[in-house]
Structure 1
Amino acid sequence: MTVVAPFESAKPAPESQPERVGVLLVNLGTPDTSDAKGVRAYLKEFLSDPRVIEDQGLWWKLILNGVILRIRPGRKARDYQKIWNTEKNESPLKTITRAQAEKLAAAISDHDHVVVDWAMRYGNPSIKSRIEALAAQGCDRLLVVPLYPQYSAATSATVCDEVFRVLAGMRAQPILRVTPPYYEDPDYIEALAVSINAHLSTLPFQPELIVASYHGMPQEYVDKGDPYYAQCVATTDALRKCMDLDATKLILTFQSRFGFDQWLQPYTDKTIEKSAKDGVRRIAVVTPGFSADCLETLEEIAQENAEIFKHNGGEQFAFIPCLNDSEPGMDVIRQLVLRELQGWI
């Protein structure tokens, strides 16, 4: 006769430990080459995403293929060539994102079953290729880290869209987590303040005005419910408080508008132009919506907007680099990742 122990006395089985955990850092993307051909391929992928351009109808396809992809690649290629990492033959965004992944891997190396990798939403290395590589290394759990402090459907959500598409084609899917936006995380705000103050201390002048410039988006997207604008405001407010600056000394603007629709305002270039005309002679610009320097910071801000400022009467212009793979920047990423890995490591 077999005696069965009462149900109440049964002990729960210990939770199985993951075989390996993959951590995938993801940034926006970059052309593979700095010539018109490379930029055209990148722009086609980017501008064909309905998260970026929501109306993908016939009219947009005609404009994209008949006008934009014929004219814009040559112009943007010249801009990329101004900032291109010629030693590695790649964009600074790719160089920096790789460095962020390598430094994160070193910072959490005591967790030997964690594998860190990196990808681009558009261009290479693709999200698909890196998820497949992590799966091949035995990662049965995956933490995706969109490197955007502020959430928007055109950035964070489209990363998730692509991850879901990749997983939809996998028979053995990893368990998935995605890090949240960190737009007012105290560690992030403190890192921004430390970085800004450190850079300002190296300047031969004291700026009269600090401009916090964020990537723009069509006003319509926010009207439909995208939280991006509110999160940019929250970042700027928290940074002002941390640096003890009021709204007249640290202002919020939006850059990189595209097309003819109304985008989030005030516009960075118009604000910088007006400031110079109004008598501001010393200015510094920081870009708290970017985790790594790229075309929009190194060329659009540091070169194009600097020229706008000086052309209209400004004298001294400083671009404050992104957090990149600096020690404060890596502390933000490391703490974000370790927080979201709780229960897996």
Structure 2
Amino acid sequence: MTMSAPIETTKPTVQSSPKQVGVLLVNLGTPDTADAPGVRVYLKEFLSDARVIEDQGLVWQLVLNGIILRSRPRTKALDYRKIWNNERNESPLKTITRSQADKLAAALSDRDHVVVDWAMRYGNPSIKSGIDALIAKGCDRILAVPLYPQYSAPTSATVCDEVFRVLARLRNQPTLRVTPPYYQDEAYIEALAISIETHLATLPFKPELIVASFHGMPKSYVDKGDPYQEQCVATTEALRRRLGMDETKLLLTFQSRFGNDEWLQPYTDKTMERLAKEGVRRIAVVTPGFSADCLETLEEIAQENAEIFKHNGGEQFSAIPCLNDSDPGMDVIRMLVRRELQGWI
């Protein structure tokens, strides 16, 4: 008797469509509008983050809601209006970050299944909206890119906190990667050096020295273990080596202090005052801790600190633009993203 062939019980393999890989650029944030209500909403979210103000107790809540949010939005709104992108009705930070994402997407267009989006830690577009958009486009893997060269808990870590909060609400979570700080990566230092040299070549004067101004932080945060100050020092030392300068020609300072606590020193504004009084007449300032120009660079440095310098005897002051979406700046972002996407694309 002839035996029939066994019945095939294995299901045929179904070729599923390739999944997408998402890249989410994240910067600090900005108000939606350059008026007191818009700034108030932004400051409320920003200053209610325990990474930014660690003691969120009753005293701080009284100060925040009873004093700061009643008075500060009006004055900060005036500052935002000085730098506002009126054509698009948005802050320069939002304009630049969008452009960075667009240029990164174009640079990765040769890579199949990569989707690029952008978000702000505080304000809009939110991290949640960015992640939701990437998932809606089929991304089952997401690379979060905090656009901070130096790590700190109030910047890099709070981006991760929010990403994790968003993912915690999902039953089907995408796989996540986060780019590390890049404070002394060769491409970053080279981009800074090129941006400085290019800018100085356009000036009608030769600065006697350059000040590298980083965003400040309460000294107590560093005392508790935050590596931010150490990484700012490492960036500055690497930049000095690349430019052939010593600590007398490329100074390190910290700006944007807030409240009555001691912050990292030397302070940028006090340094501007001191240098002018000591006879320095020509100066340039670079802000290596910012990946895109914003209120702290365009208003605080380029306007407020320029006025402090000139009021005390200085004559010529120039603020060097951030890397922004320039070719050297985009080289840094492309390097960082391509490196961290290895194995996914």
TMscore range, shorter length: over 0.9
**Distance of 2:319 and 2:302 partners within structure 1:** 5
- Please name the residue that 1:220 is paired with: 220
**Distance of 2:288 and 2:117 partners within structure 1:** 24
- Please name the residue that 1:92 is paired with: 92
**Distance of 1:312 and 1:88 partners within structure 2:** 37
Task: Map Cα deviations across residues 99-124 of structure 1 (whole Å, 9 max, x no partner).
Answer: 00000000110013000000000000
Match of 1:255, as an amino acid? Q
- Please name the residue that 1:249 is paired with: 249
Matched, 1:114 2:114: yes
Task: Map Cα deviations across residues 254-297 of structure 1 (whole Å, 9 max, x no partner).
Answer: 00000000000000000011000000000000000000000000
- Listed as ranges, the gaps of 5+ residues in structure 1 are 1-15
- Please name the residue that 2:198 is paired with: 198
Matched, 1:67 2:70: no
Match of 2:54, as an amino acid? E
**Distance of 1:99 and 1:292 partners within structure 2:** 11
Instruction: Calculate the aligned-residue CA RMSD, in Å.
Output: 1.1
Counterparts of 1:167-246 in structure 2, within 5 Å, are 167-246=167-246
- Please name the residue that 1:262 is paired with: 262
Match of 1:196, as an amino acid? I
Counterparts of 1:99-138 in structure 2, within 5 Å, are 99-138=99-138
**Distance of 1:81 and 1:162 partners within structure 2:** 29
Deviation at 1:17, TM superposition (A): 9.6
Task: Map Cα deviations across residues 111-157 of structure 1 (whole Å, 9 max, x no partner).
Answer: 13000000000000000011001000000000000000000000000
- Please name the residue that 1:334 is paired with: 334
Deviation at 1:209, TM superposition (A): 1.1
Secondary structure in 2 matching 1:60? helix
- Listed as ranges, the gaps of 5+ residues in structure 2 are 1-15
Deviation at 1:18, TM superposition (A): 5.9
Task: Map Cα deviations across residues 189-240 of structure 1 (whole Å, 9 max, x no partner).
Answer: 0000000000000000110010000000000000000000000000000000
- Please name the residue that 2:283 is paired with: 283
Aligned residues: 331
Match of 2:225, as an amino acid? G
Match of 1:23, as an amino acid? V
**Distance of 2:154 and 2:313 partners within structure 1:** 36
Task: Map Cα deviations across residues 10-32 of structure 1 (whole Å, 9 max, x no partner).
Answer: xxxxxx99610000000000000
Match of 2:200, as an amino acid? L
- Please name the residue that 1:311 is paired with: 311
Task: Map Cα deviations across residues 295-342 of structure 1 (whole Å, 9 max, x no partner).
Answer: 000000000000000000000000000000000000000010000000
1:18/1:141 contact within 8 Å kept:
no
Give the structure-1-normalised TM-score.
0.95
**Distance of 2:213 and 2:256 partners within structure 1:** 10
Secondary structure in 1 matching 2:109? coil
Match of 2:65, as an amino acid? N
Secondary structure in 2 matching 1:27? strand
Secondary structure in 2 matching 1:211? strand
- Please name the residue that 2:9 is paired with: none
**Distance of 2:153 and 2:247 partners within structure 1:** 28
1:84/1:91 contact within 8 Å kept:
yes
Of 105-114 and 319-328, more deviation after overlay is shown by: 105-114
**Distance of 1:17 and 1:117 partners within structure 2:** 21
- Please name the residue that 1:23 is paired with: 23
Secondary structure in 2 matching 1:254? strand
- Please name the residue that 1:343 is paired with: 343
- Please name the residue that 1:297 is paired with: 297
Structure 1 residue ranges, 4+ long, deviating more than 3 angstroms after superposition: none
**Distance of 1:239 and 1:209 partners within structure 2:** 14
- Please name the residue that 2:5 is paired with: none
